[in-house]
Amino acid sequence: MRLTVAAAGTATPATVWDRYTHPDRWPGWSPQIRSVDCADDVIRAGTTGVVHGPCGAAVNFEVLDVDHETRCWSWRVKAVGIELILGHRVDARGRPADSGTRTTLTITGPAPIVVGYLPLARVAVGRLVRLPACP
């Protein structure tokens, strides 16, 4: 199954992209992420690591591709034999480019997992595009 969720907010595209590309910033906007173990400060194709969630949950990830120019990236997450592919995109909401951002997240994987993850994804991308800046 493949579903897309979108959010728009007042954070600039550069701010949102910065929040996406630095794994140490993910817990600041994604409530299901408590911490991230990752050797790379900025994601790139091939970046791997572990995302730690609530109750000790740990999910391995691999970044599949990153395009800094178009502000798109995708990654694969795996846990207990379940795999999801998450694709992210950041776009300016209007002119001037600092008038806000629209971001989309496309989730591909087993239907029950994708549907179950959707509410968390909506909250996360909503927080991602809002000001003030996350820590």
Sheet of 58-67, strand order: 2-9, 101-108, 82-92, 72-79, 58-67, 48-52, 35-38
Number of domains in the chain: 1
**In tens digits, what is the pLDDT along the chain, a chain of 135 residues?**
999 999 999 999 999 999 999 999 999 999 999 999 999 999 999 999 999 999 889 999 999 999 999 999 999 999 999 999 999 999 998 765 567 899 999 999 999 999 999 999 999 999 999 966 555
Looking at this protein, which amino acid is placed at residue 18? Answer: D
17: containing domain: 2-128
Q: Does residue 101 belong to any structural domain of this protein?
A: yes
| This prediction's pTM | 0.91
CATH number, position 75? 3.30.530.20
